[in-house]
Chains A and B, each alone.
Chain A
Amino acid sequence: MSELTDMHTFSDIEAEIEAEMEADPTTKKLGVFFWICVGWIALNIVLALTANLLPLPNPNLGNYNGPQNAGPGWGHLLGTDDLYRDILSRLIYGSRVSLVVGFFGAAIGMILGGVPAMISAYRRGRIDTALNTGSYVVLAFPALVAVIAIVSFWGHSLWKITLIIGIFGAPLIFRVVRASTLSYATRDFVLAAKSLGASDTRILARELLPNIAPTIVSFSLIAVATIIVLEGTLAFLGLSVQPPTPSWGNMLYEGSTLLSGAKGQTNTWLLIFPAGAMFLLLISLNVIADKLRSYFDVSEIKL
């Protein structure tokens, strides 16, 4: 999951804009850019959910009377690929794969990694040591290689991939949530709550969770982005959902074969559009994560 570090180059540029917008710390605003990004993701999700209802051509079956490898135009807004299929339709249907794997993968990771992390960081002791060591061991493993190995044995259905990626994301989420919980678990207000007779469950849910929620939310969004890239990588290697079902990753692969003209045809658009769609989705996720983090950061240092 080394993609995580690459993601932050986007937020560096963002940080500058943010610094200007946050000159006045008393009135925090999320800003227009944040809402544009939220809108873009919302649009992606709505289109993915309603793809069947939209007047889109069949994504898997080309119209052989239509143009082949067409550029953007009125008949096909984003053009067609080498099999006469509508690229817009394939992009929208393909986004389902990215969104499902991204969001559900992160959710699985959060449940498998985040929940034990909170309990473990609060209770400490041997179980914490064991889980912590375990997470190091799994993280030391090259996740992509492991996922590729498992996928090639177990199969590449959408839900299997989601589950596998979720499981491999869990240790990373475990570490982040554990570290974040640890920084609050030893604070006086937790001890104060305990001294007032609050049960462990109550302390976890009412004292610790609200404090680490901002971290969890923004890190989950970054996890979603990372997982989408990972799924794209798998699809590019032909290890995600199988063609003709579209996914951004396998579209990228198809596009890459048409780039050099080796097949006797060239179609740059088939590479540009899925790459652009993925880029916009990822940058939106990262911007939202970053903005939310600073928005929720009510650290008293600023006051």
Chain B
Amino acid sequence: MTDGPLLEVEDLSVSFTTSRGNVRAVQGVSFTLEQGKTLGVVGESGSGKTVLSRAVMGLLPRLSAVQTGSVRYNGTEILNAPNDELRRLWSTHIAMVFQDPMTSLNPVQRIGNQITEPLKIHLKLSKAEAKETALSLLMQVGIPSPIERYEAYPAQLSGGMRQRVMIAIALACAPRLLLADEPTTGLDVTVQAQILDLLSQLQRDRNMAMILVTHDLGVVATRTDEIIVMYAGNVVERAPTTVLFKSMAMPYTEALLNSIPRIANPSHSRLVAIEGRPPDLIHPPAGCPFSPRCPYAQEKCHREKPPLVEAAPGHTYACWYPLTDANRQDRPEKPTAVTA
């Protein structure tokens, strides 16, 4: 193992060729991730976070996705690497937990089969060894009576159970990097917290690096070391978690934070939404991509795209008039402390 970071992503861009034109789903994203750390990727639907995680993993269709830049795992370039090469990394080094546990398990294969499959392929375990490992994995992810569940079909399990199974499958070959793409979207709120806590706990136990992709800033607030906020395929803010919540610079980050409903709010209070829709990624606006929806946008914002600038070591943002700028006249009251 080299001494560098586990994962280095540099200027990663992904575009899809469609009949309407090129969809620029991810533009110039860079970040690094150390062993055992967690990176949160936050953004609303269509911000490119799923494409980013799949590009890092090398799962995008080669026919339609054009990927440029660099993704280095443990010092080795894996972007656009041939499938045979990636197959050696998948599952044993990098694994992914998918968004929807309802569709990411094969409906006609027993749970046991699906967990033992990677164990048999990659670790060359015998049938009995694989079963033993699988049962212990099911236990680790908190599935009651694993012996019965081992024989069950996915349709016989609840959504939360299925996501636990998905996590067990992803962790089967002890990967060093786990990508969790909205792992709790399809689940109800109480189960969400359980699954996220489970992921964090397993990550600590295994000293595994994790990329947690979500639309919910509340989810990443307590569970990540660093956060990147994406909008329209661009990183608009990137900072260590504590720094981000203390001094967020980008209005979009603030908007995301404000859109989380709070327990302290009086009941029946109106949910705060971000007005408008994300921009068309085939013809992105000339200026700041968030400018059409930004409450603070000024003329310059519509004209020129702001570069990523470094506010403090490790904290970068792309905004002409950051919230941290003390000279802003129009700055409204800062959002109250985060209670996530």
Which A residues are within 8 Å of any B CB, using their own CB?
A: 124-125, 187-189, 191-199, 202, 206-207, 210-211, 298, 300, 303
* Contact present for B108 and A191 (CB under 8 Å): no
If A195-B59, A198-B121 touch, whether A189 touches B105 (CB-CB below 8 Å) is yes
* Contact present for A125 and B63 (CB under 8 Å): yes
If A124-B63, A188-B100, A298-B155 touch, whether A197 touches B122 (CB-CB below 8 Å) is yes
Complex Cα–Cα for A124 and B64 (A): 11
Which B residues are within 8 Å of any A CB, using their own CB?
A: 57, 59, 63, 87-88, 90-92, 95-96, 98-100, 102-109, 117-118, 121-122, 153, 155, 166, 169-170, 172
Contacts of B95 in A (CB 8 A): 195-196
* Contact present for A189 and B106 (CB under 8 Å): yes
Complex Cα–Cα for A240 and B59 (A): 52
Contacts of A210 in B (CB 8 A): 106, 108-109
Contacts of A298 in B (CB 8 A): 107-108, 153, 155
* Contact present for A207 and B106 (CB under 8 Å): yes
Give which listed residue, B57, B88, B153, contacts A195 with CB less than 8 A: B57
* Contact present for B87 and A189 (CB under 8 Å): no
Give which listed residue, B88, B90, B100, B107, contacts A196 with CB less than 8 A: B90
Question: Can you report 22 residue pairs joining A to B where beta carbons are below 8 Å apart?
Answer: A189-B105, A189-B106, A191-B59, A191-B98, A192-B104, A192-B166, A194-B90, A195-B57, A195-B90, A196-B91, A196-B95, A196-B169, A196-B172, A197-B87, A197-B88, A197-B91, A198-B117, A207-B106, A211-B107, A211-B108, A298-B153, A300-B102
Contacts of A194 in B (CB 8 A): 59, 90
* Contact present for A197 and B104 (CB under 8 Å): no
Other 7 A-B pairs with CB < 8 A, given A193-B106, A194-B90, A196-B121: A187-B103, A189-B103, A189-B107, A195-B57, A195-B95, A196-B91, A298-B155
A-B contact count (CB 8 A): 73
Contacts of B96 in A (CB 8 A): 192, 195
Q: Which residue of A lies closest to B63 (CB)?
A: A125
* Contact present for B109 and A206 (CB under 8 Å): yes
Contacts of B92 in A (CB 8 A): 197
Contacts of A193 in B (CB 8 A): 106, 117
Q: Which residue of B lies closest to A195 (CB)?
A: B96
If A188-B98, A298-B155, A303-B155 touch, whether A197 touches B118 (CB-CB below 8 Å) is yes
The 5 closest A-B pairs by CB, nearest first: A188-B104, A197-B90, A197-B91, A188-B103, A196-B91
Complex Cα–Cα for A197 and B117 (A): 10
Complex Cα–Cα for A199 and B82 (A): 13
* Contact present for B59 and A300 (CB under 8 Å): no
Give which listed residue, B105, B121, B155, B166, contacts A197 with CB less than 8 A: B121
Contacts of A192 in B (CB 8 A): 96, 98, 104-105, 166, 169
Contacts of A187 in B (CB 8 A): 103
Complex Cα–Cα for A124 and B194 (A): 39
Complex Cα–Cα for A199 and B166 (A): 19
Q: Which residue of B lies closest to A296 (CB)?
A: B108
Q: Which residue of A lies closest to B58 (CB)?
A: A195
Complex Cα–Cα for A211 and B91 (A): 23
Q: Which residue of A lies closest to B94 (CB)?
A: A195
Q: Which residue of B lies closest to A202 (CB)?
A: B121
Complex Cα–Cα for A85 and B21 (A): 73
Q: Which residue of A lies closest to B96 (CB)?
A: A195
